[in-house]
A and B are shown apart, each in its own frame.
Chain A
Amino acid sequence: MSSSPDQRKASGTAELNTFPKLLQHHARVRGNKVAMREKDLGIWQAWSWQQVLDEVRALACGLAALGFKSGDKLAIIGDNRPALYMSMAAAQCLGGIPVPLYQDSVTKEMAFVLDNADVHYAIVEDQEQVDKLLEIREENRSIRHILYDDPRGMRHYDFPFLDSIENARKQGREYDKAHPGFFDEKADSVRGEDIAIMLYTSGTTGNPKGVVLTYDNVIITARNGIIREGLTENEEVLAYLPMAWVGDNLFSYAQSYVAGFTVNCPESGATILTDLREIGPTYYFAPPRVYENMLTQVMIRMEDASKIKQRLFHYFMALAKRVGTRILDGKDVSLSEKLLYQLGNFLVFGPLRDVLGLNRIRLAYTAGEAIGPEIFDFYRSLGINIKQLYGQTEGMVFICVQPDGEVYADTVGTPAIDVEVKIDDNGEVLYRGPGVFHSYYKNPESTAKTKTEDGWVYTGDAGFFAENGHLKIIDRAKDVGKLQDGTMFAPKYIENKLKFFSFIKEAVAFGDQRENTCIFINIDLDAVGNWAERRNLAYSGYIDLASQDEVYDLVQECVDKVNEDLSQDPLLSNSQIRRFLVLHKELDADDGELTRTRKVRRSFIAERYAPLVEALYSDVPECHIETQVKFEDGRTGMLSADVKIREARQFTPMAKAS
């Protein structure tokens, strides 16, 4: 990376290398500017940077009065609340380490983290969390103090170790008076290489691991992100994702502290959409499913609109699809289409963005999973600058980001500032950079396994660099297999491609150690049902609908498109789908076919439907199967069906020579 003026500026403020220092800096420089807002009691209550500092100072001193020392861990549990964000800062000002926990975790999960992280102090949102901690405390006495934000229902909780944040602040102010200089000295003594925070990753297997991040990790990464995107102190973000998740910590805490912009906390889970619209954030992060739900809502609501509106909508959306992303990326568009787009902007895009609350967005990110190209393009064509990034807790989020003007639905962009990325021989992605974590807490073994001596981190993801220099993530490395001919087989990649079609709800790809790829498909009953109704196709239920030839035709179209896509990709063109079937029952977590988070359990399914898999790899056109199912009332029964199998169209691979 060449050194831009921005970067020089960044190094010029290098002394602002911890959150305590940043906080004091903002209180000095923009003390009256709003740092945080929370919708509470019907209006957006605001805290200026000076007020934040005052409250943080009071709480920090209060914690100190309770015996909180440098290096102590402070568990933070609750919805996104200013008081909790300030608790984080308060702990950091004392040289302590905040450990945010997922507020919806059950007691057992919480108990593990609290124990693993050696937590003695906790600040929680409300009675619900206090109850959990009290339950944990019955067995694990290591929690010495609990502070809560919302006093509701706490009147009869009479424990010496339990108090409100309010009271702690009050005591803190007295402590501050009694020990002048204590706070400043403590806050100043925090160094960049000190541990800033511990974030527990919800490992898919085994217990969660505490990722230890230093101030340098967090702040340099945050600052690099700000520089790359040109973010300013005037951004507005909505803090609505779990505080325990690294992304929230970066977007709603670290970057706010670095850039000095405003963080807004919604009123409650039920009002997020309203609050989003009220605030109209300029900088926004959401996982793909949020965008997906939003788009679904848009489409459903438009279905009920008058015919004229629908035609207007579809006309301009088609226009947007043609030219919208090109305009956003600053590419050439004919004047007439540009004018037409402006008209569309007035009639459709603008109002749509406004109703969704996305009107003021300058930058929106999505990450975490692959996003459907349709969805991605929909938002971009509306003129919303949504970009993908690729990141991990272990790297303080930023590994790759899509640069402006080079946004593609199927890549995650180029390496972030100061980050190096390489692919090892197995296809696994590795990276190195300022955000690379310190260690896993009390787990040197895992640390060594993940992070090499010279600072490279294994992501566990398989991927490759496309010709344009963008990283393309295919799958979890351990899931990636090989077809019999030795070429790569990435089941999730194929499944995701299929699932991007609204008609397909689930897909299960087989192919590892086999000669080609075959697929089970679950249709989306709502979408296909709707489609069928519009065609006056009668059906009695899922099984009936799934077996109809028209539906097979519909699915075939999707499968063929995926094959066409795959054929473009030199690495994956061999894993084009050969044969597919539409499964006679919906995959269900109750039957063990999906995990509770709705991920397909491929091997279990292969076993359970072995005859079908076998049939896929033979050349029979139909296969009879009987399956045991569990009904909602707990009874079990047998389900039998004749499942049809279809051949998919094959495409010749693109010239491999290039």
Chain B
Amino acid sequence: MHERKLGEVVLRVEGISLSFGAMRVLNNISFDVRQGEIRSIIGPNGAGKSSMLNVINGVYHPQQGTITYRGVTRDQMKVHHAAAQGIARTFQNIALFKGMSTLDNIMTGRNLKIKSNMLQQAIYWGKAQKEEIEHRKKVEEIIDFLEIQAIRKTPVGKLPYGMQKRVELGRALAAEPELLLLDEPMAGMNVEEKEDMCRFVLDINDEFGTTIVLIEHDMGVVMDLSDRVVVLDYGLQLADGPPDEVRANQAVIDAYLGVSN
């Protein structure tokens, strides 16, 4: 990979703590994400990685800490704020709209960009149709980008797992996000599918300049893709830095060795 310069900080979480009842899921987590980088969050199962993403896009509301996104500091993010401000995400357990086709799923990802009102859509003439066509074109570009032409009109429920992951990525991309949160995009994939997904992640970052926060299990993938890595373990932040640095960190080594024991 060619040399890259990290941009401005777009997202900063500071001192985030989150608990459910008596269970502490995140404990005083702080890190930042810079414009245009691929930022990974790693850690063993139950480390709180997904919860961290849920905090960033407002599904969970932390008890302590602040989230600063694009210069605005909040105690907690709200889901619709996150979406409206260009934060999109995929899910660890696929969260597609099962009753719809690939095309419609990705079209739904563009809902925030559609301006025609209900009456116009009911008449389906003029603005509404023009918009449908305009957005269809964008969606087709995404379909082309993710190489899922052959499944365009297939109901997503009928697709194999790897394809569903791709469609979900497509739905997130449809929002033209500035910050893309990927929750284990390669989990459960075979080698070939993983390679494809890696290529897509890099291409998204590269072609669209999208900042990416990534959770991933596969250490090889993480180290190859990421500019910087945060390591979590049971809600605690173990390390933060470039892949090489993190790899050499004693606490990280211990935690991972601990896992393999």
Stretch at the interface among A151-159, A316-324, A334-342, A437-445: A151-159
A297 within 8 A of B: no
The residue from B137, B152, B203 contacting A152, defined by CB atoms under 8 A apart: B203
Taking a contact as CB atoms under 8 Å apart, the answer to whether A274 and B140 are in contact is: no
Residues in A whose Cβ lies below 8 Å from that of B206: 153, 155-156
Considering the chains assembled together, what is the distance between the CA atoms of A297 and B134 in angstroms? 38
**Max chain B C-beta neighbours (<10 A), residue from A40, A41, A43, A267:** A41
Considering the chains assembled together, what is the distance between the CA atoms of A420 and B245 in angstroms? 76
Q: How far is the CB of B206 from chain A (nearest CB, A)?
A: 6
Which residues of chain A from 32 to 88 have any CB-CB distance to chain B below 8 Å in the complex?
40-43
A638 within 8 A of B: no
Residues in B whose Cβ lies below 8 Å from that of A42: 103, 136, 140, 143, 149, 152
B8 within 8 A of A: no
Q: How far is the CB of A81 from chain B (nearest CB, A)?
A: 13
Q: How far is the CB of A62 from chain B (nearest CB, A)?
A: 25
What 4 pairs across the A-B complex have the smallest Cβ distances?
A: A41-B140, A42-B140, A270-B150, A271-B150
B124 within 8 A of A: no
Q: How far is the CB of B95 from chain A (nearest CB, A)?
A: 24
Taking a contact as CB atoms under 8 Å apart, the answer to whether B147 and A268 are in contact is: yes
Q: How far is the CB of A148 from chain B (nearest CB, A)?
A: 15
Number of interface residues of B (CB under 8 A): 16
Residues in A whose Cβ lies below 8 Å from that of B141: 41
Cβ contacts A82-124/B at 8 Å (1 or 0 each):
0000000000000000000000000000000000000000000
Residues in B whose Cβ lies below 8 Å from that of A40: 144
Considering the chains assembled together, what is the distance between the CA atoms of A633 and B57 in angstroms? 48
Q: Which residues of A contact B (CB under 8 A)?
A: 40-43, 152-153, 155-156, 267-268, 270-271, 274
Taking a contact as CB atoms under 8 Å apart, the answer to whether A153 and B203 are in contact is: yes
Taking a contact as CB atoms under 8 Å apart, the answer to whether A267 and B149 are in contact is: yes
Residues in B whose Cβ lies below 8 Å from that of A153: 203, 206-207
- Knowing that A152-B207, A270-B150 touch, tell me 18 more A-B residue pairs with CB under 8 angstroms: A41-B140, A41-B143, A42-B143, A42-B152, A43-B140, A152-B145, A152-B203, A153-B203, A153-B206, A153-B207, A155-B206, A156-B2, A267-B149, A268-B147, A268-B149, A268-B150, A271-B149, A274-B150
Considering the chains assembled together, what is the distance between the CA atoms of A172 and B145 in angstroms? 28
Residues in B whose Cβ lies below 8 Å from that of A152: 145, 203, 207
Taking a contact as CB atoms under 8 Å apart, the answer to whether B137 and A41 are in contact is: yes
The residue from B136, B140, B152, B207 contacting A155, defined by CB atoms under 8 A apart: B207
Cβ contacts B189-227/A at 8 Å (1 or 0 each):
000000000000001001100000000000000000000
Considering the chains assembled together, what is the distance between the CA atoms of A270 and B136 in angstroms? 21
* Sample (11) of A-B pairs whose CB atoms are under 8 Å apart: A41-B144, A42-B136, A42-B149, A43-B140, A152-B145, A152-B203, A153-B203, A153-B206, A155-B207, A270-B149, A271-B149
Considering the chains assembled together, what is the distance between the CA atoms of A41 and B145 in angstroms? 10
Residues in B whose Cβ lies below 8 Å from that of A271: 149-150
Considering the chains assembled together, what is the distance between the CA atoms of A41 and B135 in angstroms? 12
In chain A, what residue has the closest Cβ to B103?
A42
Considering the chains assembled together, what is the distance between the CA atoms of A36 and B181 in angstroms? 41
Residues in A whose Cβ lies below 8 Å from that of B144: 40-41
Considering the chains assembled together, what is the distance between the CA atoms of A271 and B143 in angstroms? 13
In chain A, what residue has the closest Cβ to B136?
A42
Which residues of chain B from 129 to 170 have any CB-CB distance to chain A below 8 Å in the complex?
136-137, 140-141, 143-145, 147, 149-150, 152
In chain B, what residue has the closest Cβ to A151?
B207
Residues in B whose Cβ lies below 8 Å from that of A155: 206-207
Q: How far is the CB of A83 from chain B (nearest CB, A)?
A: 15
Considering the chains assembled together, what is the distance between the CA atoms of A276 and B147 in angstroms? 19
Residues in A whose Cβ lies below 8 Å from that of B150: 268, 270-271, 274
Which residues of chain B from 71 to 107 have any CB-CB distance to chain A below 8 Å in the complex?
103
In chain A, what residue has the closest Cβ to B203?
A153
Q: How far is the CB of A475 from chain B (nearest CB, A)?
A: 40
In chain A, what residue has the closest Cβ to B150?
A270
Q: How far is the CB of B199 from chain A (nearest CB, A)?
A: 9
Residues in B whose Cβ lies below 8 Å from that of A268: 147, 149-150
Q: How far is the CB of B191 from chain A (nearest CB, A)?
A: 17
Q: How far is the CB of B167 from chain A (nearest CB, A)?
A: 15
In chain A, what residue has the closest Cβ to B151?
A270
Q: How far is the CB of B47 from chain A (nearest CB, A)?
A: 34
In chain A, what residue has the closest Cβ to B138?
A41
Residues in A whose Cβ lies below 8 Å from that of B103: 42
Residues in A whose Cβ lies below 8 Å from that of B207: 152-153, 155
Residues in B whose Cβ lies below 8 Å from that of A270: 149-150
Residues in B whose Cβ lies below 8 Å from that of A43: 140
Q: How far is the CB of A269 from chain B (nearest CB, A)?
A: 10
Q: How far is the CB of A153 from chain B (nearest CB, A)?
A: 6
Considering the chains assembled together, what is the distance between the CA atoms of A444 and B140 in angstroms? 51
Residues in A whose Cβ lies below 8 Å from that of B149: 42, 267-268, 270-271
Considering the chains assembled together, what is the distance between the CA atoms of A41 and B149 in angstroms? 8
Considering the chains assembled together, what is the distance between the CA atoms of A270 and B152 in angstroms? 12
Considering the chains assembled together, what is the distance between the CA atoms of A175 and B147 in angstroms? 36
Residues in B whose Cβ lies below 8 Å from that of A267: 149
Considering the chains assembled together, what is the distance between the CA atoms of A152 and B202 in angstroms? 12
Considering the chains assembled together, what is the distance between the CA atoms of A311 and B136 in angstroms? 44
Q: How far is the CB of A215 from chain B (nearest CB, A)?
A: 36
**Max chain A C-beta neighbours (<10 A), residue from B140, B143, B145, B150:** B150
Considering the chains assembled together, what is the distance between the CA atoms of A10 and B9 in angstroms? 71
**Max chain A C-beta neighbours (<10 A), residue from B2, B103, B141, B207:** B207
In chain B, what residue has the closest Cβ to A153?
B203
Residues in A whose Cβ lies below 8 Å from that of B140: 41-43
Considering the chains assembled together, what is the distance between the CA atoms of A473 and B103 in angstroms? 50
Considering the chains assembled together, what is the distance between the CA atoms of A281 and B147 in angstroms? 25
Q: How far is the CB of A272 from chain B (nearest CB, A)?
A: 10
In chain B, what residue has the closest Cβ to A268?
B149
Considering the chains assembled together, what is the distance between the CA atoms of A577 and B136 in angstroms? 63
Residues in B whose Cβ lies below 8 Å from that of A41: 137, 140-141, 143-144
In chain A, what residue has the closest Cβ to B143?
A42
Q: How far is the CB of B203 from chain A (nearest CB, A)?
A: 6
Considering the chains assembled together, what is the distance between the CA atoms of A155 and B207 in angstroms? 7
Considering the chains assembled together, what is the distance between the CA atoms of A43 and B140 in angstroms? 9
**Max chain A C-beta neighbours (<10 A), residue from B141, B144, B147, B203:** B144
In chain B, what residue has the closest Cβ to A156?
B2
In chain B, what residue has the closest Cβ to A269?
B150
Considering the chains assembled together, what is the distance between the CA atoms of A40 and B145 in angstroms? 12
Q: How far is the CB of A276 from chain B (nearest CB, A)?
A: 13
In chain B, what residue has the closest Cβ to A266?
B149
Considering the chains assembled together, what is the distance between the CA atoms of A271 and B149 in angstroms? 8
Q: How far is the CB of A101 from chain B (nearest CB, A)?
A: 23
Residues in A whose Cβ lies below 8 Å from that of B2: 156
In chain A, what residue has the closest Cβ to B152?
A42
Considering the chains assembled together, what is the distance between the CA atoms of A220 and B75 in angstroms? 78
Q: How far is the CB of A113 from chain B (nearest CB, A)?
A: 28
Q: How far is the CB of B101 from chain A (nearest CB, A)?
A: 12
Q: How far is the CB of B257 from chain A (nearest CB, A)?
A: 32
Q: How far is the CB of A576 from chain B (nearest CB, A)?
A: 48
